[in-house]
Chains A and B, each alone.
Chain A
């Protein structure tokens, strides 16, 4: 009974605690709540485990049989049955509550990486468990880690990797990640071996192999964790890519090295290791890596192929994606190939095709589920880390630990600066010293190295505790010290010089110049190695996409549904006044000769405030990736506004007949905003996709001009009341597609690009509606041929579509 009341009590307490949280919304309360809940739970658990320990497993029956009255007891308790899932769930919940609290206080995510938070939570749970002498269930062992906890983390980082910059920089990334990991591992291992040779430290029993193994596991870094901290600093795209690439490949390489060295250690006689074995080890390293990638690619293609057929049962699409990724991991592991690299390659391959095939909701599901799974895994690992921090199984050796710390930093610096020095010779845009320093400083350890240390077999490593302790120290140090200081450091290096307030003039002009620069950068596009990319794209179009992408036309219900959504949005926008003529400047206002009004400083301040808050953000060219959340779509609103306004101004200027080459406006046309599919919608769809993915370096393929020309035709039609509402919808189309094409825009890639592409599928019939219009309009000959030739260039890649296209062109 006491247990029950305690349980009820803790529940009520949590409820009350949550209320308090709402009122105070302060981090402290949350912390106390957690502590309370945790201690309640664990003390409850403690008592119950104490009591149930005395009873036999079949507690109920035993109790009832020993009870002389032989009553059926109304309330029973069997904690052992649920212990493991219960505690795991509680831990995850605690971490989630902590994360909520973390983000409630706005400044915190910029001060420290979220790993700090997870470590704190882990330490807290650990201390609670330790304090109540509760025997924590041995939840983490080698098989659970490698089979269940690791794959989601790797899958998530592989899936959200932006492919284009990755492949453009792949040379540098492989060079840096691969060699960097090797240099770090062997460097740290060897240095520590020499330290161990010094008799004074009492480390003589750690042989070379063990040191090397320790070196390999301690060199597994997790630099992505700190990305959120210096997100708002202007870090260039290349730097982001290097950090990403390193994070992605680093785990894989460390694990491969780890396994190879464990295999070496298992050879019982150390003296038996011959050069042959070492060569075999190296060969194995290469084979394991490449084999893993190969497996991943195969599975990626298979899953993309299967998603082609799932349009009727879209509920299983996420399942297919996850199962195939997991299968690639397992299959690679079976053959002792690198599962991590396999699952990464699978995610990268799969992403492009799967995103097109699956439905919108499946796509969102996949993304969110992936984030959720990886977040859960990571949380659990950090909690284990915390649990093992507070415990009795430590071995402290000042020399080893201090030297480990020192060597980690030294070797990372050595590897960064030498490797980048070499690769800078071959790069078109070398990395500056500042960039290299940022890369060096972002070498924060994460869950990976701790897991590998924890899973060392004790039989082969009698000094395992020492290793675990050292790993923990390095992790804590790097996460807290480096994680917290990297933000200010990056901001300092960025040399933001304006401490003083700029005048309104300056602010306006500076922002204008930023926009101008961003625009010109877009005009310049990306310098990249065209040939290889072009070849791959050609191959992709000719063969891969035909096999892997669906051919079916969208059902008209989907199209009309989309239109309905847009109508609602358009109505909303009209109501909020975006579409009124006030949105663009009223030229009828006479020039006012302004008197010199003396404005008070407060007025100026408020003006400056208004400006700063409301000016449009410059499009960020760097990717913004947050490991722990999917970024909200704040920038879309801005883009939509801009597009609608442009559309209005274009219409305005067309009415005035200014210099826009849209040609003579057509006569009044029945603008049929049609929804039924046309004779060749599927070719159009394939067309659109071909166009859309032709090249994403900023040049939008024919689809865009088609939309623009469609827009222009619509715009050039005389204003009709009914089209008034239509046009903004098209601008929304365009807006979304524009966003999808400018993959580099300040959107979160996966989400936004995919969403943009989603919409690209829908407006197909729209385009054709206008196409019909335009065809039957009295356009100038030049324009018709211009547009047609534009289409023709589009068809150059898909000849048969052109043929099917032309009947449509000649319909009228």
Chain B
């Protein structure tokens, strides 16, 4: 793969990224190596194709959506900052963070709210802030085997939206989404140990 120096100084904007994402120097370095490994042609950014090379994603039911989440706002390339930004959502929550955080600063990317927001956008493709019934149906379709008929799926979707929907608009807003998951240990579910 060529001789790639492992010096942190090679990462562009490393301080800015570190502040924004909260990763340690070592983790950032490892992420950078991974970024470079994925970027086979050394373009300096990743395209969708690069991420699709990861075979395990191809057999993940949500593979496409996960890849799409790396490309916000319809862009076709993601640089290292964007890459790290997405992955920062999955940093394990450090208990110290909560106490010493400066309330004036924006919430860290791996807070519970931001994790939930990240998951929410997997559902909400049109970014209108609400999971419509149709979007829920699509997600369900992705996650369920082919034996489930469409009628069953529709009724499950109805039930799902109904359970969460409080204001009766037939869609699940972000607040409703958060509320339906208040008992879940999101911090643990959406944290990857190695990203400390």
Give A residues with C-beta under 8 Å from B: 429, 503-506, 508-525, 527, 530, 534, 576-578, 582-585, 587, 589, 591-594, 596-597, 599, 603-604, 607, 610-611, 614-616, 619, 638-639, 641-643, 645-646, 649-650, 659-661, 695, 698-702, 704-705, 708-709, 734-735, 737-742, 744-745, 786, 789-790, 793
Contact = CB atoms under 8 A, between A and B. Distances in A.
5 contacts: A516-B62, A523-B87, A594-B161, A705-B40, A734-B58
B164 A505 contact: yes
Given A530-B33, A639-B59, A699-B53, A616 B192 contact: no
Contacts of A708: 49, 52-53
Contacts of B51: 523
B8 interface: no
Contacts of B41: 786, 789-790, 793
B163 A524 contact: no
Contacts of B163: 503-505
B189 A523 contact: no
A742 B59 CA distance: 9
B1 interface: yes
B186 to A, nearest CB: 8
B66 A523 contact: yes
Nearest to A646: B64
Interface in B111-159: 119, 122-123, 132-134, 137-148, 150, 152, 155-156, 158-159
Given A610-B152, A616-B61, A643-B58, A591 B90 contact: no
A523 B31 CA distance: 10
A642 B55 contact: no
A621 B152 CA distance: 31
Given A509-B181, A607-B159, 4 more contacts: A429-B193, A514-B189, A515-B61, A519-B66
A510 B192 contact: no
B156 A738 contact: no
A607 B155 contact: yes
B180 A509 contact: yes
Interface in B56-104: 56-64, 66, 70, 74, 76, 86-87, 90
A659 B189 contact: no
A577 B146 CA distance: 9
A611 B139 CA distance: 13
Interface of B: 1, 30-31, 33-34, 37-38, 40-41, 47-49, 51-64, 66, 70, 74, 76, 86-87, 90, 119, 122-123, 132-134, 137-148, 150, 152, 155-156, 158-164, 168, 170, 177, 180-181, 183-184, 186, 189-195
B190 A517 contact: yes
A533 to B, nearest CB: 11
A645 B41 CA distance: 29
A699 B37 contact: yes
Contact of A611 (B58, B87, B144): B144
Contacts of B66: 516, 519-520, 523
B146 A646 contact: no
Contact of A509 (B37, B48, B57, B184): B184
A695 to B, nearest CB: 8
A596 B162 contact: yes
The 5 closest A-B pairs by CB, nearest first: A742-B56, A741-B55, A738-B55, A639-B59, A519-B66
B138 to A, nearest CB: 5
B59 A591 contact: no
Contacts of A643: 58-59
A774 to B, nearest CB: 14
B105 to A, nearest CB: 25
Contacts of B192: 517, 520-521, 524
A611 B147 CA distance: 11
Contact of B56 (A506, A587, A610, A745): A745
B52 to A, nearest CB: 6
A722 B159 CA distance: 41
A554 B162 CA distance: 57
A738 B138 contact: no
A517 B190 CA distance: 6
B54 A698 contact: yes
A521 B143 CA distance: 18
Contacts of B162: 594, 596-597, 599
Given A509-B119, A591-B132, A699-B37, A646 B58 contact: yes
A642 B61 contact: yes
Given A516-B122, A530-B33, A745 B59 contact: yes
A650 B68 CA distance: 13
Contacts of B1: 534
Contacts of B140: 508
Contacts of B158: 594, 597
A525 B1 CA distance: 16
A735 B59 contact: yes
A417 B63 CA distance: 40
B38 A705 contact: no
Given A527-B194, A610-B152, A642 B57 contact: no
A616 B147 CA distance: 11
A699 B143 contact: no
Contact of A616 (B48, B87, B139, B144): B144
B183 A506 contact: yes
Contacts of A611: 144, 156
A520 B48 CA distance: 14
Contacts of B47: 661
Nearest to B141: A585
A381 to B, nearest CB: 39
A731 to B, nearest CB: 10
A519 B57 contact: yes
Nearest to B34: A525
Nearest to B181: A509
B170 to A, nearest CB: 6
Contacts of B150: 582
Nearest to A635: B59
A515 B132 CA distance: 21
Given A523-B54, A610-B156, A659 B64 contact: no
Which of A505, A527, A577, A741: most chain B Cβ within 10 A? A505
A704 B53 contact: yes
Contact of A594 (B58, B170, B195): B170
In this complex, the member of A510, A525, A591, A790 whose beta carbon has the largest number of chain B beta carbons within 10 angstroms is A525
A147 to B, nearest CB: 43
A240 to B, nearest CB: 15
B181 A506 contact: yes
The residue in B33, B47, B52, B132 that gathers the most chain A C-beta atoms within 10 A of its C-beta is: B52
B119 A512 contact: yes
Nearest to A735: B59
A530 B180 CA distance: 43
B39 to A, nearest CB: 10
Given A504-B160, A515-B62, A582-B150, A659 B54 contact: no
Nearest to A789: B41
A641 B55 contact: no
A639 B58 CA distance: 8
Contacts of B146: 576-578, 583, 641
Contact of A516 (B48, B160, B190): B190
Contacts of A619: 56, 59-60
Contacts of A523: 38, 51, 54, 57, 66, 70, 87
A591 B66 CA distance: 25
Nearest to A531: B6
Contacts of B184: 506, 509-510
A591 B158 CA distance: 12
A425 to B, nearest CB: 16
A646 B40 contact: no
B66 to A, nearest CB: 4
A650 B49 CA distance: 13
A708 B57 CA distance: 13
Contacts of A508: 139-140, 143, 160
Contact of A522 (B54, B159, B164): B54
Contact of B60 (A576, A577, A642, A699): A642
